[in-house]
Amino acid sequence: MTGSEGRMGMKVLLVNGSPNEKGCTFTALCEIAETLKTEGIEAEIFQLGTKPISGCLGCKGCAKTGRCVIKNDPVNEFLDLAQTADGFVFGSPVHYAAASGALTSFLDRVFYAAPAGTFLLKPGAAICSARRAGTTTALDQINKYFTIAEMPVISSEYWNMVHGNKPEQVKEDLEGLQTMRVLARNLAWFLKCKEAGERAGIALPEREPRLRTNFIR
């Protein structure tokens, strides 16, 4: 396997956490998606849309079924797609120096309800768009979901952000768009390396029984 060749069916899910279907975040995700395709990786943009997304109810019903008990939003649809996805990119506009409320509620429930192995050792990347500031704190917030789920975090040559108040302005952020393309190529390279390792017989890391130590006993 050389160049841009990848395993048939290798796929990355890109989540648009903005209520604007084709806004600034979407523009950045499209740059990633198009670059992934040139690397032989299928890319699908998953829109959260404008319907309300509830926060987690803490009912633990998902522990029995692997699905969220709330069924009128995109969480379970995404969980179904995530089972066969090889990697993930979660994008968000910056709202008050944080990820959007919709994406935050979505990620809380997705990562809590996901069946074991859904995200294990699958690469993840966060991207943000902003008019001006708050991007790094929003990126830190999203990255925390990856690092509690044993997901390798994919980076670029700069923090994964674009700037602009409109899609047309994002397209003028040449460094930001380049950052998205480098991110996509790094993600594709990681996926190909992971596949090559699997074909070479390199086993996944040994699993240990999970230990939980509460601060207060």
If you average pLDDT over residues 65-73, what whole number do you get?
A: 94
Confidence (pTM): 0.94
What total of structural domains would you count in the chain? 1
The set of residues, in sequence order, having a beta carbon less than 8 Å from that of 199 and lying 6+ positions away, is none
For residue 206, being part of any structural domain is answered with: no
Mean pLDDT of the chain: 95
Q: In 3-state terms, what secondary structure has residue 146?
A: helix
The set of residues, in sequence order, having a beta carbon less than 8 Å from that of 26 and lying 6+ positions away, is 16, 18, 20, 45, 91, 167
Lowest mean pLDDT among 93-102, 157-166, 169-178, 205-214: 205-214
For residue 1, being part of any structural domain is answered with: no
pLDDT, tens digit, 9 for 90 and up, residues 190-203: 999 999 999 999 99
For residue 119, being part of any structural domain is answered with: yes
If you average pLDDT over residues 114-125, what whole number do you get?
A: 96
CATH code of the domain covering residue 159: 3.40.50.360
Q: How far is CA 178 from CA 49, 92, 160, in A?
A: 26, 18, 10
Position 144 scores a pLDDT of 98
For residue 209, being part of any structural domain is answered with: no
- Domain assignment of residue 73, given as a range: 11-199
If you average pLDDT over residues 146-163, what whole number do you get?
A: 98
